[in-house]
Structure 1
Amino acid sequence: MIVEEEFQAKLTYYLQESYQDIDPNRKRPLILICPGGGYENLSNREAEPVAFKLLSLGFHVAVLSYSVAPAEFPIALRQLGKAMLAVKEAAKVYPIDPKQIFVMGFSAGGHLAASFGAFWNQPLLADLTERQKDLCPTGLILCYPVISGGVYQHESSFQRLLGKLVEEKKEELSIERLVTEKFPPCFVWHTLEDQVVPVQNSLLLIEQLVEKQIFCEFHLFPKGPHGLSLGTKETDSPNGDMQNRDVQGWPEMAARWVNEVSLQNG
């Protein structure tokens, strides 16, 4: 039997200074990153390089190194819940706006982030805090996310997440089935050429977000394989196949969206 206490997560912060001669009282949004890796490992390409990019756009960042296989659901989800509470606690000391905490996820990390969007107010996480509303992310940024356990599933991600219960439980963790009016706002992007996690994953989610009138923005880029991260030289692979000019603007698009959501939340 796998128990939660056997696994540990790590939360790494990348924080901005508040300068006396600019704005000493400024509090910035924080973006909490969940790297991808198919629930088998964690992609370095979707962690620190992305954090540095987001820093350049004016945000605080934290990267969650969550537990992967043999850890099974809901261990990583609960680790993300604890990370959210840790960030809220850090906001008492550092210039973080506790009302502007966004969760970003890539691929399987996108499934984790989206799962958190579905389960933040459910009994599964209720024991983490007396104020369950403290778990609610301000918004989600989902990059080529694993979403569905149906026809378009990324089979190995669900196998590692659910183990022997995969056939029994994968439909229950299909995020498109879990969207309610309490689901957070979402920024989503994918590529049409993704052969690992089909773009239909994002489309199924967007369809439900629109139906439930959840504030969302979706970008479909025509070119590029799965796992592009920033699409720049900084996050290129040893094979040199992970640079893509089409997608390189997504962080700026997401930053504009984050600022818009932040303004709405006051």
Structure 2
Amino acid sequence: MQKQELAYQDTKFTLDTYWLDPISDFDEPVEHPLAIICPGGAFKFHSDREAQPIAMKFNSEGMHALVLHYQLAENGKNVYPIALQEMATTLNWLKSQQETHNIDLSKVVLIGFSAGGHVVADFNSIMLDPEQRKNIFADKLEVEPAANILGYSVIDMTLGWPKEESWSKQVAPDESYWQAQAHLTEHAKPTFIWQTVTDDTVPVMNSIVYAQKLNDLKIPYEMHLFGSGGHGLSLSTYVTKHPNGGDYNIYDYKWWELAVNWLKLQRILPEI
């Protein structure tokens, strides 16, 4: 893993990069899809459990992976719109890295967990609509994502998380950023959604309202709601399990296999 620092105007941010090396005994280089991961952490921190372990799983499927350390609500700063500008800057930066790292720019996937899922959902809703984007990001968006994966994501900050409206205002003083589903348009990309119905932090209705709006717009999606398990499961295996217990459910780890199958359906990963 290598750190990469980028900037949007006067805001600096960091990527963790997990590049796949070329296979030396191939006659020609192979272009790989790429995953950009937004970990959760309540907009207070970036959870390591949803960073490197997820990135390396994507590597194992033949995808480059980046972890985006998007703007947090700290030191008097707000998350929005800076986090969306950082994601757009990251996507545009990929164009300069295409030949160096053999990236298939037509197969970039955004991955979001919990609060990081809100960043991805808002990007899919707001930033892929040219009319909405021009008010936030002055530059041309050179690279667009092909799809999204949302894990137990915050979608609507009026549906049970956060508990305090004051924190929502700290995240985004402009309330138009609070409800990602409200800004979805026909420009949005296919989305895979998973969560547990027993999530005790982010109510499952968050996933449902986003899927409903995607459905209304006839945008392809797949949603899996598991019948047990708490919040923040990450891979839901021993790899991301806290040493003191929790964050592990033998019934929910199947989400990864389902997501990979869906990426094959989207022709982002090969079928064999």
Partner of residue 127, structure 1 = 138
For 1:81, which of 88, 104, 108 is the aligned residue?
88
Partner of residue 41, structure 1 = 45
Segments of structure 1 that go 5 or more residues without pairing to the other structure are: none
Q: What do residues 96-141 of structure 1 show as CA deviations (whole Å, max 9, x unaligned)?
A: 1011111000000000011111122321343133xx3x24211111
CA distance in 2, matches of 1:234, 1:156: 30
Q: Which amino acid aligns with 2:95?
A: K
Q: Which runs of structure 2 are paired with 1:9-48 in the superposition (5 Å)? A: 9-22=13-26, 24-48=28-52
Partner of residue 243, structure 2 = 238
CA distance in 2, matches of 1:23, 1:219: 41
Partner of residue 65, structure 1 = 69
Q: Which amino acid aligns with 1:40?
A: K
- Give the superposition deviation at 1:7: 4.2
Are 1:147 and 1:153, in contact at CA under 8 Å, matched by a contact in 2?
A: no
Q: 1:94 to 1:67 in 2, by over 3 A?
A: same
Are 1:187 and 1:216, in contact at CA under 8 Å, matched by a contact in 2?
A: yes
Are 2:110 and 2:120, in contact at CA under 8 Å, matched by a contact in 1?
A: yes
Instruction: Kindly indicate which of the two structures has a greater share of residues assigned to helix.
Output: 1
**Farther off after superposition, 206-215 or 152-161:** 152-161
- Give the superposition deviation at 1:170: 3.2
Q: 1:23 to 1:188 in 2, by over 3 A?
A: farther
Matched, 1:103 2:110: yes
> Identity rate of aligned residues, in percent?
32
Are 1:149 and 1:170, in contact at CA under 8 Å, matched by a contact in 2?
A: no
Q: Which amino acid aligns with 1:189?
A: W
Are 1:81 and 1:125, in contact at CA under 8 Å, matched by a contact in 2?
A: no
- Give the superposition deviation at 1:25: 2.8
Q: Which amino acid aligns with 1:142?
A: L
CA distance in 1, matches of 2:166, 2:37: 23
Partner of residue 5, structure 2 = none
Q: Which runs of structure 2 are paired with 1:1-266 in the superposition (5 Å)? A: 7-22=11-26, 24-70=28-74, 71-72=77-78, 73-120=80-127, 121=130, 122-129=133-140, 132=141, 134-150=142-158, 152-155=159-162, 159-160=166-167, 162-163=169-170, 166=173, 169-170=174-175, 172-262=177-267
CA distance in 2, matches of 1:57, 1:259: 11
Root-mean-square deviation (CA, aligned residues, Å) is: 2.2
Q: Which amino acid aligns with 2:225?
A: L
CA distance in 2, matches of 1:192, 1:248: 15
Equivalent position SS for 2:251: helix
Equivalent position SS for 1:118: helix
Segments of structure 2 that go 5 or more residues without pairing to the other structure are: 1-7
Q: 1:19 to 1:118 in 2, by over 3 A?
A: same
Equivalent position SS for 2:99: coil
Q: 1:157 to 1:249 in 2, by over 3 A?
A: farther
Q: What do residues 185-230 of structure 1 show as CA deviations (whole Å, max 9, x unaligned)?
A: 1001000110100000000000000110001111111111000000
TM-score, normalising length from structure 1?
A: 0.88
- Give the superposition deviation at 1:241: 0.7
Are 1:108 and 1:157, in contact at CA under 8 Å, matched by a contact in 2?
A: no
Q: What do residues 232-258 of structure 1 show as CA deviations (whole Å, max 9, x unaligned)?
A: 111111321111111212222212222
Are 1:235 and 1:242, in contact at CA under 8 Å, matched by a contact in 2?
A: yes
Are 1:110 and 1:145, in contact at CA under 8 Å, matched by a contact in 2?
A: yes
Partner of residue 4, structure 2 = none
CA distance in 1, matches of 2:134, 2:226: 37
Are 1:154 and 1:197, in contact at CA under 8 Å, matched by a contact in 2?
A: yes
TM-score, normalising length from structure 2?
A: 0.86
Q: Which amino acid aligns with 1:103?
A: L
Equivalent position SS for 1:8: strand
